[in-house]
Chains A and B, each alone.
Chain A
Amino acid sequence: MLRIENLNVSIDSKEILKNFNLSVDEGEVHVIMGPNGVGKSTLSKVLIGDKNYKVNNGNIYYYDENIKDLTIDERSRKGIFIAYQHPQEIEGVNNIDFLKTALMARLDKPINLYEFAKSIEKLSNDLKLKENMLYRNINAGFSGGEKKKNEILQMRLLKPNLVILDEIDSGLDVDSLKIVCENTLEYLKENPKTSVVIITHYPRILEYIKPDYVHIMKNGKIVETGDYSLSLKIEKEGFENIGTNIIEDNK
């Protein structure tokens, strides 16, 4: 489903990703771990098509189509979704109007408002979001946990094929993390072909969402790949001794 080949990415002339390779099949859960500043979030931004990140070289294939030159909205409509680490607060734009517009864009057709309302009501209940939050400005005045839940609500509503969870666990309390993970798992159960790339520092989220592969990133590339046990090793020993033998082919 997703194939990243020899990707080189820079921002402000600084090279962040260096010959990065990754392959993700349908229904797989991949985890990218690594210390701060190694390019994990850059990877997520490049995947969704953030124009602030310049791809110098390499290709990104999504269902065998090279999406390197597609805009962020085009990629989203094709089913690529990111749950942001820091969701944007937008004054003046009502959450419910935004969701309606986003769903119409994703489906490329008008929506049945009754079905939309029912679906939003169910998702809000599942995520234990207060109803009035839907009528407030996007993420404005939301707590950290509420913002992350709002991201997951959008994921479940827009039904993407590829989900990138960019540090979704940061700033979440135990109860909120559980709710976010349960909702993600519920979505994956309903959509078993959906693939997930989880970017995180900590293995705590992996207690809920079991990964097929765990990759460790250092200096803009993957230096080691393993399974869930690798994340536990990281928790115990840290990142320092990882990646002494760099693995170029990541899977």
Chain B
Amino acid sequence: MNIINIVNNKISNSKINNKIKLKENKNICIDIIDNTKLYIEIDGINIKSNIDINIDENVNSRIFVFSNSIDSKININVNQNKNSNLILNSFYKNDDVKENTIINLNGYNSNIEYNYSCIGKTNKSLRINHYFSKTNSIVKNRSVSNNDEIEFEIIEYVPKGSIDCNLSQSSKIINLKENKCKIKPILLIDEKEVNASHSSVISPINDSDLLYLMSRGIDEHNSINLLVNGFLVNNLNLNEEEKHILFEKYIFRR
């Protein structure tokens, strides 16, 4: 298992195989040169992290970014080359998150599946640039607002000449207490031969779901917990072991 632990923009620990090249200068640079899976853990207080990820040609990769921090600013820049496939799962359980992710699809037929789940005050910005033809993106953002403001801005850009691209984005926020939440889906498309869709939902918890769980004796607090955790975890493309780790290490930790 490849793991990189980052604290205050410094690598505190890493265990990686020869399919990953790691450099640390102003930013943390991760070069994935062959098919592999990578876990990135970001932890600590007042974090400012800049992470650059490069996916080489013809490489399939799955990356998990887990953050369990307070007052963090995280910038992630991803560059994907020709025929590369990336599944990027992010789970943030922070007190205050400002996250800015830019994904550049820099080669023909490069594909990104981006799944993002977070709890807590969040200001999330994601931009995906479809710089080449036949590039595909699937974006799923999920968040739960208890006492916090949440804002998602998802920009996807297709310049003229990038044909046969597919863009799909869906964002959903469960707003438990009528907090100020905002979703801004922005599609900047200069090419006609593109399939694009988006959906944005801000809603309270589903009453019928809650009623069903409570009808089995589970009190309201625990029923909401089950629904919220399921909503966030189910959004991520994880196997059962990874889900278990996520629950044990991040969801139940604080």
Contact = CB atoms under 8 A, between A and B. Distances in A.
A93 B226 contact: yes
A76 B216 contact: yes
Interface in B175-225: 208-209, 211-220, 222-223
B157 interface: no
Contacts of B240: 135
Nearest to B221: A73
A50 B231 CA distance: 24
Contacts of A105: 216-219, 222
A33 interface: no
B234 interface: yes
A158 B233 contact: no
Interface in A75-97: 76-77, 82, 84, 87-88, 90-94, 97
A106 B216 CA distance: 8
B227 A92 contact: yes
Interface in B40-82: none
Most B-side CB within 10 Å, residue of A92, A106, A135, A158 = A92
Nearest to A94: B230
A158 B218 CA distance: 12
Contact of B218 (A84, A92, A102): A102
B27 to A, nearest CB: 35
B215 A76 contact: yes
A156 to B, nearest CB: 13
Given A88-B208, A88-B209, A76 B214 contact: yes
A106 B222 CA distance: 13
Given A92-B231, A93-B226, A137-B234, A50 B211 contact: yes
A158 B216 CA distance: 8
A93 B230 contact: yes
Given A73-B214, A90-B212, A137 B230 contact: yes
A76 B217 contact: yes
Interface in B214-254: 214-220, 222-223, 226-227, 229-235, 240
A80 to B, nearest CB: 9
Contacts of A50: 211, 215
Contacts of B234: 91-92, 137
B222 A101 contact: yes
Contact of A98 (B216, B232, B233, B235): B216
Most B-side CB within 10 Å, residue of A71, A84, A90 = A90
Contacts of A106: 216-217
A72 interface: yes
Nearest to B223: A73
Nearest to A135: B240
Interface of B: 208-209, 211-220, 222-223, 226-227, 229-235, 240
12 contacts: A71-B214, A73-B216, A76-B216, A76-B217, A84-B212, A90-B212, A91-B231, A92-B230, A93-B213, A97-B226, A102-B213, A102-B217
Interface of A: 48, 50-51, 71-73, 76-77, 82, 84, 87-88, 90-94, 97-98, 101-102, 105-106, 135, 137-138, 154, 158
